[in-house]
Amino acid sequence: MTENLGFEELRQKRLRYVESARENNFEEGLNSLLSELYPDNAHFIYELLQNAEDALASTIEFVLAEDHLTVTHDGKRPFSLADIESITGIGNSTKRDDPTQIGKFGVGFKAVFAYTTRPEVRSGEHSFAIEDLFVPIVLGDTQKPDATTFVFPFDRADKPASTAAEEVAHGLSVLDEKTLLFLNHIRTITFELPDGRVGIIEREAVDDLVISIKNSGGEDFIESHWLRLIGPASVSHDGMNALSVAAAFRMDQPKEGRSKRGKQSGSDGPSAESQRTIVPLDEGDVSIYFPAVKESSGLRFHIHAPFASTVARDSVRDDPGNVRLVEDIAALIVDALPRLRTQGLLNDAFLATLPNHDDPIGHPYSLIRAAVAEAFNDQELTPVGRSEGGFAPARTLVASPIGFRRWLEPGDLATLLDLSGTETDQPPRWVRDPVGRAGKFLASLDTIEFGWEELSEAVSAASDADEILADPDSSNDEAAQATLRVWFSWLRAKSDDSLLRVYKLLGFGYRQHDLFDGLEAVPIVRLRKRNVTTHLRGPDTYLPSGRSDTVQSRVPIDLAYFDDDEDHARPNNLASFYRAAGVKRWNESARTERRLAAYREADRPVPEGSEIAQHLEDVRSFIRYASRHGSARWALSDVAFLLAEQSQGKPRWVTPRQTFVDLPFESTGLSGLYPRVPMFWASGSRRGEYAHDSEPYPLARVYLDVDGIVELIASLGAKTGIEIAEVDVIDNPDLSWSWRWINRETVQGKRVDWGIERLDDIIETADHDLLRSLWNVVVLAPASKAIAIYQANASAQPHQITSQLAQTLTATPWVLNRDGDLKLPCEVSVDDLPDDWQAPARTSLIYKLSFGADAARRREQEEGVTEYFRQEGFDENAIEFLREAKESGLTSDDLRSMLQEHKAKDRFPVGASEDPVRRAGVAALDAITAPQHSTSIRPRSVVNGRTQASAESKAYLRSQYSTSIGEMHCQACRKPLPFKTHDGAWYFEAVRVVNARTQIHTANAIALCPLCAALYKYARGTKNEALLEQLYSTVIDAGQGAVEVPVILDGKRIKIAFTGKHAIDLKTALGVAGSGRSDDDGEDEFDLDSDDSSGSSPSS
């Protein structure tokens, strides 16, 4: 009766709450709050599972119909009035003070209202429904005894029944083994769907640690096994039910005959667990009985604790109590480890499940990792190497790369650790091989590290051990010497096979670049002479040349390697070891090295007499060796095996790098650059005495008959010519320092520049051979050597400037011309080079030095002038003619005068006749009537009528050879007459063309300047007959201008020019009446002016 009165009072209170909420418009807010707290579909299924677990139920059943869901469980705690008050309120759950119960929020049950408006509950003495979220209503029916039933009609207007049924069906279908993993009471969950499908999830205990969970739905069946650890939680509670924490590890299915590896001797024997293996999960869950879907631990197994969480239990809050719960889980796992070891479960699979330093585990779950690692460090939990077995604290075990355990014996560890300076409290053993996740876990433990670095320290500790122990005055203390004796004792105790494995390990380390320091100073290479085993340094012995090479001073065949070994790894690893130890194979290289050793001795005497032949044979062997082994020739470069001549005394031993080549070997000109400069002792007893010449040295003539000597020393660094080499661009004067200031210089930048060593000295010598060598180097170099590049870093702007080499060669006279003068490159063209200097290709560096620029500039100018001349009608040689005129001393005034004379010749009168026949007829008549030649006896012989004839001829000539502008020309040189007489008439001399004629013809005269007249009268080489023949053979056409008749004057052939009319008149007169006469009177009669020296005509 009291319960009934209490129920009614609760109902009235809830009604008043609802009416108040509606009056204050709180109802919508409450619905919104619930939707935010439980956003996922069918979340209320977990709330019902929670209710059943808290009620101590072992079985829960879900029956889903099309329009409702019925849930029944067999809980031993039926609903009380306090429970009804809890599920009809908010935040006033009866479970809030009971930390053993899952549901701690009054709002939890409210999740069902996402699907129904009136849930029904039948439990114990109560049968009621809930309306308006809060108001309990009594139902008239009764409840089955020992059962609690919930009915949820799908009657919400905003969620159709079909949708509700579909969502709930999905929620039930996705229930899996994790649903039951951490529940204490519920062992069976069943559900039935509207389509008839039935699902069952059952949990069974295999033993006190392992559980089996079976999940069947339709034709699907899944069974999983879990190693579940459960322990007490340290959080406080009221003592009603103890809180617990748990961890669950997935196990694979049992298999018959599974190996019990890892089980300690003396254990209780195999159990069911020893037949299974723990396997890591892809991702472990954090559960608060059920998985908190938004929480991630980073672990590879599941954990559970009553964590303080969000309302929806999907994530864990940052809370000190939660940290203590994680520590409880860590302690739970650590406490279980010895039992797991006893049961054979501490194998690689379980180690792979444990957290390592590579796993992304955050706080507070990293506390589990730290606690587990500490347990393995301090307890006998860490597996020892497989060859020994068992377990030990990690801090007593040695961790090494896998190859160490492959090639070293367990007994080697103590010696090598001692040599490396690593102290151990007990005999060292190896930890299990680190493989996969198990290996990562073992690598995170505090084991003793013995890796490549420690191995290198151990082996290096034996450096020079043979010398130290053999030196009675050694400064090493007894303890250090005792350590070195341990080294030799360890080596002697090892069999050949065991020592061979050590060699392979060291060789493998050098191949993989895990070892760096060489072994040349370590006595580790075994020799066996007359059954006595010794261990030497590598450089003191050799590998056998072949399997038949059993010389006892070489490495034994069993410890050597050969390229045809069946095990390919053997020669690779052993080759690396012997190379690091400085052991070479006995071959031509070894023989050469032994021969070279004699030349490495200090104060080696200079050979004389027959010794020279042996020395030359040594050099020839070095040449043969270098020609066959190009990469090994550098072993010769720093050995003083060559003789160099000096300015005083005997030759001296020098290295190839200290020599240079010149005549008589090759013409390089380097003798001009490296003169022999004697050096004298500056102090001591030999002060002032000759010491030696300065470097470099000329090669001794003794090698003239040694073929290939120049090629050898050139390849070894001797100076055999001038070379272009890289120089520092920072020294380039064109480099702007701002390029460096505004950028950060890195190794990724570019710094390229070019130069020639001692270039200024080379040029200063003015040595023709040396300069020719310089020329050859420059013309054969590519044009790119004229460019320098500076770039501060990979992202900075690159700058191109003129290289230092190009700057010097452009601005300094160094190129010889044919006259032996030094010129700038721009001043010299290819035609100016000496005959023995090669012509450059167009891609040569020399053209970047303005080579031939001046000549090219002149050529361009000439081409321009020539083109102008060509356009004006001149021939191609006009410019050459002007150059020759200049070179001959002609000035522009001279040329201008000559040009005026030439123009005057062009103005020579032509006097053409339009009717030559008629004019010839008139001329013939005049010729016939011309007066006869006669003389009178006076004090001298005078031609009668000569004055009149002369006057007529002169008047005739003046009319024929005067131009329209008043000029008169000489018929021989065709120049204007040189001057005029006082009366303004041009002065000329009228000279008979053909003398000694019987008649005096007016036309038989020519007008000549005084010089030409004298030449014609006194230096004419052409006879009258020849002149007449020329005249008679000349054809004069109508309109023809000047007619030329050749004559010889003073030995030179010139042409007398006649006007066309004059030529007709003369030819006709001499042809008709031009017979000759005798010269008995002794008169030449060339000169018509002999009686009229004025040269002017009588006035008319």
> What DSSP string runs through 816-855?
E-TTS-EE-GGG--GGGS-TTSPPPPTTBGGGGGTTTHHH
877 inside domain: no
When pLDDT is averaged across residues 788-816 and rounded to a whole number, the result is 94
Contact 234, 221 (CB under 8 A): no
Are 570 and 666 members of one domain? no
Count of CB atoms situated within 10 Å of the CB of 61: 18
Angle at 281 between CA 277 and CA 286, to 5 degrees: 120
Helix (H, G, I), strand (E, B) or coil at 82: helix
Are 697 and 781 members of one domain? no
Q: Please state the domain count of the chain.
A: 6
Are 966 and 942 members of one domain? yes
422 inside domain: no
pLDDT value, residue 498:
94
Residue 1063 CA to residue 2 CA, distance in Å, equals 177
pLDDT value, residue 107:
56
88 inside domain: yes
pLDDT value, residue 415:
92
| Residue 907: closest CA among 746, 1068, 1057, 780 | 1057
Helix (H) / strand (E) containing 35: helix 27-37
21 pLDDT band, cuts 50/70/90, is confident
Are 1046 and 919 members of one domain? yes
| Residue 556: closest CA among 581, 530, 580, 582 | 530
Q: What's the pLDDT tens digit per position in 603-657? A: 889 998 888 999 999 999 998 888 887 766 777 888 999 999 898 888 999 999 9
When pLDDT is averaged across residues 372-377 and rounded to a whole number, the result is 97
1081 pLDDT band, cuts 50/70/90, is very low
pLDDT value, residue 866:
67
Q: Specify the pairing of strand 678-680 against strand 659-660.
A: unpaired
Q: Specify the pairing of strand 697-698 against strand 659-660.
A: parallel
Are 578 and 605 members of one domain? no
262 inside domain: yes
When pLDDT is averaged across residues 316-328 and rounded to a whole number, the result is 93
pLDDT value, residue 689:
85
Helix (H, G, I), strand (E, B) or coil at 437: helix
Residue 980 CA to residue 969 CA, distance in Å, equals 12
Q: Which amino acid is at 564?
A: D
Q: What's the pLDDT tens digit per position in 1008-1039? A: 999 999 999 999 999 988 888 888 888 888 87
Count of CB atoms situated within 10 Å of the CB of 573: 26
pLDDT value, residue 491:
94
Q: Specify the pairing of strand 244-251 against strand 302-304.
A: antiparallel
When pLDDT is averaged across residues 1063-1088 and rounded to a whole number, the result is 68
pLDDT value, residue 699:
93
Q: What's the pLDDT tens digit per position in 55-82? A: 999 999 999 999 999 999 999 999 989 9
| Residue 540: closest CA among 490, 586, 600, 479 | 586
Are 214 and 151 members of one domain? no
- Which of 376-380, 399-403, 899-903 is most confident? 376-380
pLDDT value, residue 387:
74
970 inside domain: yes
pLDDT value, residue 1091:
41
When pLDDT is averaged across residues 134-158 and rounded to a whole number, the result is 88
**Residue 57 tokens, joined:** 């139920």
pLDDT value, residue 1041:
78
pLDDT value, residue 205:
93
pLDDT value, residue 97:
44
pLDDT value, residue 312:
73
Are 690 and 760 members of one domain? no
Residue matched to tokens 């060291």? 506
Cα-Cα-Cα-Cα dihedral sign, residues 1007, 1009, 1015, 1021: negative
Q: What's the pLDDT tens digit per position in 190-209? A: 999 999 999 999 999 999 89
pLDDT value, residue 188:
97
When pLDDT is averaged across residues 247-254 and rounded to a whole number, the result is 87
Question: Does residue 1084 have a pLDDT over 70?
Answer: no
422 pLDDT band, cuts 50/70/90, is confident
**Residue 439 tokens, joined:** 């290996």
Question: Does residue 1007 have a pLDDT over 90?
Answer: yes
Contact 1035, 1067 (CB under 8 A): no
Residues above pLDDT 90, as percent of the chain: 45
pLDDT value, residue 105:
39
When pLDDT is averaged across residues 95-111 and rounded to a whole number, the result is 52
- Which of 689-693, 911-915, 916-920 is most confident? 689-693
Residue 93 CA to residue 137 CA, distance in Å, equals 19
Are 483 and 575 members of one domain? yes
Question: Does residue 38 have a pLDDT over 70?
Answer: no
- Residue range(s) defining the domain that contains residue 959: 909-1073
Mean pLDDT taken over the chain:
84
Question: Does residue 537 have a pLDDT over 90?
Answer: yes
967 pLDDT band, cuts 50/70/90, is confident
Question: Does residue 148 have a pLDDT over 80?
Answer: yes
Helix (H, G, I), strand (E, B) or coil at 331: helix
Question: Does residue 216 have a pLDDT over 50?
Answer: yes
* CATH number for the domain harbouring residue 133: 3.30.565.10
Among 346, 379, 412, where does a domain finish?
A: 379
b/e per residue 353-382 (b: at least 16 CB within 10 A): bbbbeebebeebbbbbbebbbebbbebbbb
Burial environment of residue 398 by CB neighbours within 10 A (0 to 12, 13 to 18, 19 or more): buried
Query: 418 vs 12, 883, 904, 1014, CA distance in Å?
Result: 87, 97, 121, 130
Q: Is the peptide bond before 664 cis (omega within 30 degrees of 0)?
A: yes
pLDDT value, residue 93:
45
The reported pTM is 0.55
427 inside domain: no
- Where would I find the H helices in 360-495? 366-378, 402-407, 412-420, 436-443, 452-460, 465-470, 478-493
Contact 960, 911 (CB under 8 A): yes
Contact 448, 440 (CB under 8 A): no
Strand partners, 200: 190, 216
When pLDDT is averaged across residues 975-1000 and rounded to a whole number, the result is 88
User: What's the gap between Cα 979 and its chain centre?
Assistant: 90
Residue matched to tokens 């008050």? 85
Among 333, 361, 379, where does a domain finish?
A: 379
Are 681 and 730 members of one domain? no
Question: Does residue 449 have a pLDDT over 80?
Answer: yes
Question: Does residue 471 have a pLDDT over 70?
Answer: yes
Residue 708 CA to residue 912 CA, distance in Å, equals 88
pLDDT value, residue 530:
84
Residue 1090 CA to residue 953 CA, distance in Å, equals 13
1085 inside domain: no
Question: Does residue 904 have a pLDDT over 70?
Answer: no
Under DSSP, the state recorded for 104 is: -
pLDDT value, residue 809:
95
pLDDT value, residue 824:
93
Are 679 and 811 members of one domain? no
Among 352, 379, 406, where does a domain finish?
A: 379
**Residue 97 tokens, joined:** 């003070």
Strand partners, 137: 129
Flag the least confident range among 837-841, 959-963, 1068-1072: 1068-1072
1086 inside domain: no
Query: Cβ contacts of residue 258 below 8 Å, gap of 6+?
Result: 274, 275, 276, 277
| Residue 405: closest CA among 426, 428, 380, 387 | 387
Are 649 and 715 members of one domain? yes
Query: Cβ contacts of residue 722 below 8 Å, gap of 6+?
Result: 668, 756, 762, 770, 773, 774, 777
Q: What's the pLDDT tens digit per position in 817-855? A: 988 899 999 999 998 899 889 999 989 999 999 898 887
Question: Does residue 583 have a pLDDT over 50?
Answer: yes
Kindly report the three-state secondary structure assignment for every residue of 705-774. Answer: CCCCHHHHHHHCCCECCCCEEECCHHHCCCCCCHHHHCCCCCCCCEEECEEECCHHHHHHHCCHHHHHHH
Q: What is the CA radius of gyration of the chain?
A: 64
Question: Does residue 99 have a pLDDT over 50?
Answer: no
b/e per residue 724-750 (b: at least 16 CB within 10 A): beebebeebeebeeebeeebeeeeebe
Flag the least confident range among 228-232, 616-620, 910-914: 910-914
b/e per residue 285-320 (b: at least 16 CB within 10 A): bbbbbbbbeebbbbbbbbbbbbbbbeebbbebeeee
When pLDDT is averaged across residues 385-389 and rounded to a whole number, the result is 79
Say which residue, 934 or 804, is predicted with more confidence.
Answer: 804
Are 775 and 707 members of one domain? no
pLDDT value, residue 167:
94
pLDDT value, residue 1086:
59
